Structure 1
Amino acid sequence: MTVLHSCPKFASNEGVRDALTQALGEHVLGSQEEHGEISIVVERGSIEDVLRTLRDDHDYQQLMEIAGVDYPGREERFEVVYMLLSLTKNHRIMAKVSTDETTPVPTVTTLWPNAGWLEREVFDLFGVTFDGNTDLRRILTDYGFEGHPFRKDFPLTGYTELRYSEEEKRVVYEPVELAQDFRSFDFTSPWEGADYVLPGDEKADVPPIDDPKVTEGPKDTGAGPKTDAKAAERVSAGAPAEEESGEERTKAPEPTEDRPDREKRKGGTRDTKAATEPEKDED
């Protein structure tokens, strides 16, 4: 039995971009489709009207995320990206606006309550302000944090570091102090030809060994009858212990491969005490 559902498993982008740009009209500054995703660039002051139209007239019910992007080379360096989801169409689109460090972006908390938290995150990490957001506070960084860590000109180590002081019994903030090794960076790629010897490359100048040592036979290892005879010599001949006892040193055992096979054990069993008992003659 075939069951039809109002929400498709897969939604195509065919015709969606043209339909949305036509519906939004003069608010649209540009649009593109890359990697299977549609993004529409709109005017900053029209973002609330654009998102309301997409929500009410084109069934993009949910605001999934608001993200920030920093392009330091642009006049308006920041880009705010709104990601929308249509549950009934199973489709996603992105709306984008641009701004600078001082110009605020209209808030969309009038359309989605969760936008308050998302706008606070963009403000905290990028410094973008939102006009109309009544609770625009930092949300991820610590109290008293200065700067915005996701800006491209913000150092990865930051400007201050915090630690707990046992003397003052509180958390203290101090300027970041790095060792010289961490403050001097060499961005020269080894494949582009560095003017110094890279660690490990000094071994490349060592000439190869002409006669490598091998152990392919007894001659190479030093084994053989002469070596065995040398090892059997009495190094401590005439030692005081031997003179007093009068006993000769016990000879070294013969090599196991030269020993004759042991005679077969007599007895009814092999691994018990009875194995050592002689067999009884039967009367």
Structure 2
Amino acid sequence: MGTTIAEAAGHAVVEVFVERGAELVVRARRESLVPLMAMLRDDPRFGFEQLMDLCGVDWPERAERFEVVCNLLSLATNRRVRVVVSTDEATPVPSLSGLWPVATWYEREAWDMYGIVFENQPDLRRLLTDYGFEGHPLRKDFPLTGHVQVRYDESRKQVVNEPVTLTQDFRTFDFLSPWEGMTTLPGDEKVHLTRAERGQIEGPKA
């Protein structure tokens, strides 16, 4: 199947290989993504009519740090193929919403989480974060604390966004598990006593 796809797609395909002994992966050129996917959907030799998933991956050490991963399914043959293209922070990836309308939800999520731009996507809005959210939280260089925090302000009777403020007390960690640092859990103090000592505390049995 991989060889047939590579021959049919020609210049659009960079590499085809099988991962983990079973998963067919096609690395494609970004600018050729839409015609390649249309071929995989419409050509009866392939028949991958369903876009099951589209997501982003971040490799910050690479020049093109993002990968867009598309998983297709053929119901007729029960076969799957993964198509991967790469891009950077500024170069848009062609939208697949013209082939599969459901791609709009996936592309909105990839934009929200990674900042991947999709060309010809008519509804590129955030999906999972709040309005006015700063940054893209699944990027590897996004701070774990984020930039803003959301809380309900009782005096103003509304939800407010404000810069993250963590006191130094919350930033000091001794990296000691509470289970390792605590020799006796509350309520288990008697475990260190002898049987006679425990009997004195508990008193005679009824």
TM-score of the pair, normalised by structure 1: 0.60
In the alignment, residue 19 of structure 1 is paired with which amino acid? T
Corresponding residue for 2:135? 147
Q: Displacement, 1:47?
A: 0.3
Q: Work out which of the residue numbers 44, 49, 66 in structure 1 matches 2:35.
A: 49
Deviation by residue 1:164-215 (Cα, 9 ceiling, x = unmatched): 112112111122122435435678xxxxxxxxxx8479xxxxxxxxxxx898
2:12, 2:29 within 8 Å by CA — same for their partners in 1?
Answer: yes
Q: Report the 3-state secondary structure (helix = DSSP H, G, I; strand = E; otherwise coil) of the residue aligned with 1:51.
A: helix
How is 1:60-75 mapped onto 2 (pairs within 5 angstroms)?
Answer: 60-75=48-63
Query: Number of residue pairs matched?
Result: 183
Alignment root-mean-square deviation, CA: 2.4
In structure 2, what is the Cα distance between the partners aligned to 1:186 and 1:31?
A: 48
How is 1:193-272 mapped onto 2 (pairs within 5 angstroms)?
Answer: 199=181
Moved more, 30-39 or 98-107: 30-39
Q: Report the 3-state secondary structure (helix = DSSP H, G, I; strand = E; otherwise coil) of the residue aligned with 2:57.
A: strand
Q: Displacement, 1:104?
A: 0.4
In structure 1, what is the Cα distance between the partners aligned to 2:130 and 2:166?
A: 21
Deviation by residue 1:135-163 (Cα, 9 ceiling, x = unmatched): 11111111111110110111222111111
Q: Matched residues, percent identical?
A: 50
- Runs of 5+ in structure 2 lacking a partner? 184-193, 197-206
In the alignment, residue 54 of structure 1 is paired with which amino acid? L
Corresponding residue for 2:19? 34
1:171 and 2:154 matched: no
2:150, 2:160 within 8 Å by CA — same for their partners in 1?
Answer: yes
Q: Which runs of 4+ in 1 moved over 6 A?
A: none
In the alignment, residue 20 of structure 1 is paired with which amino acid? I
1:17 and 2:17 matched: no
Q: Report the 3-state secondary structure (helix = DSSP H, G, I; strand = E; otherwise coil) of the residue aligned with 2:166.
A: coil
Moved more, 52-61 or 176-185: 176-185
Q: Could you say which structure has the greater relative contact order, defined with CA pairs below 8 angstroms and 6 or more residues apart? A: 2
In structure 2, what is the Cα distance between the partners aligned to 1:142 and 1:179?
A: 25
- Higher normalized strand content (fraction of residues): 2
In the alignment, residue 171 of structure 1 is paired with which amino acid? V
Deviation by residue 1:104-140 (Cα, 9 ceiling, x = unmatched): 0111111111111111110011000111011111111
- Runs of 5+ in structure 1 lacking a partner? 1-15, 188-197, 202-212, 216-283
Moved more, 176-185 or 74-83: 176-185
Q: Displacement, 1:22?
A: 1.8
In structure 2, what is the Cα distance between the partners aligned to 1:81 and 1:185?
A: 38
In structure 1, what is the Cα distance between the partners aligned to 2:55 and 2:82?
A: 10
Corresponding residue for 2:98? 110
In structure 1, what is the Cα distance between the partners aligned to 2:101 and 2:137?
A: 25
Q: Report the 3-state secondary structure (helix = DSSP H, G, I; strand = E; otherwise coil) of the residue aligned with 1:147.
A: coil
1:83 and 2:71 matched: yes
Q: Which has the larger radius of gyration?
A: 1
Q: Displacement, 1:72?
A: 0.4
